[in-house]
Amino acid sequence: MRTTDGGNTWISQNSGTTTNLEGVYFTAADTGTVVGNDGIILRTTDGGMSWIAQASGTLSPLEGVYFINANIGTVVGWSGTILHTTDGGMTWISQNSGVTNRLLSAVSFVNANIGTVVGSVGTILRTTDGGITWTKQTSRTTVSLEGVSFTDANTGTVVGTDGGVFHTVDGGLTWSKQSSGTNNFLTNVIFTDSQTGTIVGSYGTILRTKTGGVVSVRENMSRQSGKLSRNILLEQNYPNPFNPTTTIGFSLFWSGYVTLKIFTIRGEEVATLVAEELPAGHYTKQWDASINTIEMPLTGSPKGINGLANGVYIYRLSVRLFGQTEEFSETKKFLLLK
């Protein structure tokens, strides 16, 4: 979708693919790159009127993209994939992330040499040589990190599941947790300077700060999000990544009819862990991916773990309170590594 009037109107563009697209970055009004599943990379130099597929050299799903200028850019994705270009994507070179068992979700560079990548299980990687080498940083969290934004070599913020917001002022040598005021899944962050930033996430969550995150102000949240926080709480699974079993915890603050289901990233239902009336309280459910699966209707994949590929799956908790028709739900991602 494209806007030229600040979002008053949006025009659909033809990407030339039906593959899920996960990340986008523009360096100018006309020049941009989109990445997605199956290693797809699309490039436009005419504001999206036409999109040209580029050869990424991988079939791994790609999640994040960032360009310093029209020529120098980096994309990241599943299985620790990091690709780098210095010619606008005509050629992409694979870089060694050192974390082949991690899903990398987002990337941010402050110049051609200094960049940060974030991903699953609290992964934060740092480069000071344009990605020739990547060094792990200690995030002190195991949540899935989904977005990253740096305004200079030292000052940056990352966000993730369970309302996680983490901030650094020393280039990632130390990360401090900030209070976001929400437990919702936070998916992206952008800072325009060291003090002014915006975070977005599930259920219409928008968080805004003008103090570098020292005080995080909820600028706008959907009506459902406000109700949600008082009705249910879905926890991040443990362990994550997992093989083949993992445990999911959740809390109900009111009685209701509850479903807890597992889906592929394409929305195919894989398993139903809960489908019953439950009183208020805290619950844990274990999922054994080797046996507790159903046939996936879109692909016809067989039952059992052989039918589930490595990668990200989604679990969703839905609750309909007694005496009400409105349903509340919360969703989180987790990673299966066989």
Residue 322 has pLDDT above 50, yes or no: yes
pLDDT higher at 331 or 214:
331
Number of domains in the chain: 2
How sure is the predictor about 268, in pLDDT bands with cuts at 50, 70 and 90?
Answer: confident
Structural domain of residue 266, as residue ranges?
A: 225-336
What's the CA gap between 120 and 54, in Å, rounded? 26
pLDDT value of position 337: 85
Model pTM score:
0.66
Which tokens sit at 263? 């889906």
Tell whether 79 is covered by a domain. yes
**For residues 45-53, average pLDDT:** 97
Rounded Cα gap, residues 266 and 61, in angstroms: 12
Question: Does 188 lie in the same domain as 58?
Answer: yes
Supply the pLDDT for residue 166. 94
What phi and psi values does residue 197 have, to the nearest 5 degrees? Answer: -150, 160
Mean predicted lDDT score pLDDT of the chain: 87
Residue partners of 325: CB distance under 8 A and separation at least 6 = none
The 10s digit of each residue's pLDDT in 57-90 is: 999 999 999 999 999 999 999 999 999 999 999 9
- Residues 166-197 pLDDT 10s: 999 999 999 988 888 888 889 999 999 988 99
Percentage of the residues of the chain whose pLDDT score is greater than 90: 58
Q: Which of 42-56, 134-148, 200-214, 299-313 has the lowest mean pLDDT?
A: 299-313
Structural domain contains residue 27: yes
> Of 222, 256, 287, which one is at a domain's C-terminal end?
222
Considering the domain architecture, whether residues 260 and 301 belong to the same structural domain is answered as: yes
Same domain, 32 and 170: yes
On the question of pLDDT at 302 being above 50, the answer is: no
pLDDT(252) > 70: yes
Residues 159 and 275 reside in one and the same domain: no
Residue 40 in domain: yes
User: Are residues 273 and 211 part of one domain?
Assistant: no
The predicted pLDDT at position 200 comes to: 95
In this structure, the answer to whether residues 299 and 163 fall within a common structural domain is no
| Amino acid sitting at position 11 | I
Q: Flag whether 171 is in a domain.
A: yes
pLDDT of residue 300: 41
- Give 2-30 pLDDT, tens digit per residue: 999 999 999 999 999 999 999 999 999 99
Same domain as 235, residue 123: no
Strands, DSSP E only, in 96-162?
A: 104-109, 115-119, 124-127, 135-137, 145-150, 156-160
CATH number reported for the structural domain that contains residue 259 in this entry: 2.60.40.4070
Residues 215 and 240 both lie in one domain: no
Q: What pLDDT shows up at residue 91?
A: 98
Alpha helices in 194-324, H assignment, sequence order:
223-231
**Interval 310-321 mean pLDDT:** 87
Give the pLDDT score at 231: 62
48 and 83 inside one domain: yes
Predicted confidence band of residue 301 (pLDDT cuts 50, 70, 90): very low
In a domain, residue 161? The reply is: yes
For residues 85 and 203, membership in a common domain is answered with yes
**CA dist., res. 294 & res. 71, Å (int):** 46
13 is a domain residue: no
Predicted confidence (pLDDT) at residue 36 exceeds the cutoff of 70: yes
